[in-house]
Amino acid sequence: MPDSDAPVQDTLAVMTAASLENSDLAPREFMIVRLAALAAVDASATSYALNVEAATDAGLTLEDVQDVLVAVAPIVGTSRVVSAAANIAEGLGLVIALAEAELEAELDAEDDGA
């Protein structure tokens, strides 16, 4: 097993990179399609959280996310769009909470070393 604190996240990042490399879509378009697919399958908050870094790196904004949800609403329906919006918000909350915990651990480690 790899020496990683997040082997599942690392594996999914490798899968994302491989699928991006094997697509002719630009990274921004690729992540827009991925976001639409996540909404269509009623993905969990964790699924959105795992795509935040790639979406940010591709230049997606919250306005883009809203535009994608508006675009897919007639196809996937109101309940999926509402679910997606809630799961996106929860996923962003997970990312923020993890970043805060990581920062706090780093600060504690610095305090212990000082």
pLDDT tens for 4-36 read 787 887 888 888 889 989 999 999 999 999 999
Q: Which are the contacts of 87, defined by CB distance < 8 A and separation ≥ 6?
A: 42, 43, 44, 45, 47, 48
100: in domain: yes
36: in domain: yes
pLDDT tens for 40-87 read 999 999 999 988 888 999 999 989 999 999 999 999 999 999 999 999
99: in domain: yes
18: in domain: yes
Q: How many domains does the chain have?
A: 1
82: in domain: yes
52: in domain: yes
2: in domain: no
Residue 100 belongs to domain spanning = 7-113
Q: What is the pTM of this model?
A: 0.80
| Contact (Cβ atoms closer than 8 angstroms) between residue 112 and residue 105 | no
1: in domain: no
